[in-house]
Amino acid sequence: MKATVHITLKKGVLDPQGKAIGQALHGMGFGEVGAVRQGKVIELDLAEGTDEARIRDMCDKLLSNPVIEDYRIDIAGA
């Protein structure tokens, strides 16, 4: 089975990388762009029947920084 973890900065946390992308897009003439935020996606190949709680555990312990990041888990075919 496959799971995808989307990790994004919490609202209110400054995102300098997103800001830099936004400014670069503006500089290139994409004036329609407002705020930009950058996050991560982690695609996991997992043994069949892996519990979502187990994936949540991975997120809390390694994949995300719960102080400043939120995550969302998508399980393929679930």
Residues that bind its own copies (CB under 8 A): 6, 8, 18, 21, 24-25, 28, 30, 32-47, 50, 54, 57-58, 61-63
Q: Which amino acid is at 36?
A: V
Handedness of CA 9, 15, 20, 26 (dihedral sign): positive
Least distance to its own copies, CB of residue 50, Å: 5
- Smallest separation, CB 44 to its own copies (Å): 6
Amino acid at 53: A
Nearest distance, CB of residue 41 and its own copies, angstroms: 4
